[in-house]
Amino acid sequence: MIYLDNSATTKIDPKVLKDMQPYLEDQYGNASSLHQLGLDSRVAVDRAQAKIARFLNCDKKEVYFTSGSTESDNMAILGLTRAIQKAKPKKKLHIITSVIEHDAILESCRQAELEGVEVTYIPVNKSGIVNVKELFKAIKSNTVLISLMYVNNEVGTIFPLSQIGQRIKNINKTRRQKIYFHTDATQAPAYCNCDVLKLNADLLSLSGHKIYGPKGIGVIYVRDGVTLEPLMFGGHQQDGVRSGTFNTPGIVGLGVAVDLLTDKVKLRKENKRIKLLRDYLVCNILKNIEGAQITGDITKKVPSNASFIFKGVEGESVLLMLSEAGIAVSTGSACSSGSLEPSTTLTAMGISPELAHGSIRITLGRFTTKAEITKIARLLPGIIKRLRSISPLK
């Protein structure tokens, strides 16, 4: 199988798996236990926490382990608003996000609305980047949180987070009610600077399985002084902010995966290689498939993303025919690919629902080869031509 769905999940890096292995076999102690096996596991957890703190440029105590970005996003939205509501029960709260956030954010916002929080959803431009002017125009005296993704999971466009974060910081100097700034950085760590001080972020979410680490482990960065109402109760681990037995193998794996991103020279070389492959693919598809369109501004995307719409075909049909040929891609984002509705990201960018149904997301990664890209570039024009010849959409 040629795997080109790296925005959905990545293959675990061999070094990550190797370093996790002992904690799946002999070093299996509970990191909260006081005997030697437990203490050994706790040391491993602390080391991973320190690696992630260095990567984010924060204090180790500001790093909390979760089951992944979905949980981290829920903690950021609901944990923060519930904590403020608890402290100020009569205060009506307002939060701001964009219309193309991941469902982990959007569904959390809808839940917050049920709990009495007002939410403003900011539109995006045709490139899939939040309208910054509308964003700041939406701020009210009772705005407590702005939550924006760093990189869109479907079209790969990068939001200008550092500029937005700096402006929020400046606005906060003259406000009684602080505006907290959260980013869902799930798609960003391999390609973008995740220094929380440069982003001026108060909260940040990331997930292991998007950066060649294991599934089922993630992190939420919580700036010192920010209070979250816990969503999980019971074991009092992690200062009661996120209770539950430490997933020691996953935490070790996440620490290694993050550590592999700190070699800037190697990372730049890797991303340059990925971008060259991506650009080769885009050039061939646009040249050889009539009516093919790239979605999102190619100059403002992460180098791994090549997302297209093909007029006159259904994206699901393209996906299935590529799968039969041994090539894995996605239609839109993997988390919502079971839906029959057109991509909300694409329609928010001004693409018609009819065209949005013909979307395909191809995402490259660390293990993608030139031979694999050459194969899909060779096969895809024939697949589109065949589907158009039998499609009622033509």
- Catalytic (active-site) positions: 335
Please state the length of the chain: 394
Q: Pick the closest to residue 167 from 192, 207, 130 (CA basis).
A: 130
* Residue 7, SS3 per DSSP: coil
CB 242 within 8 A of CB 72: no
**Cα 253 from Cα 87, distance rounded (Å):** 37
Reduced to 3 DSSP states, what percent helix, strand and coil does the chain have, rounded to the nearest 5?
45, 15, 40
Residue 99, sorted as left (phi over 0), alpha (psi -120 to 50) or beta, turns out to be: alpha
| Angstrom distances, CA of residue 290 to CA of 80, 190, 286, 293, 309 | 49, 33, 7, 9, 11
Q: Pick the closest to residue 253 from 216, 214, 219, 220 (CA basis).
A: 214
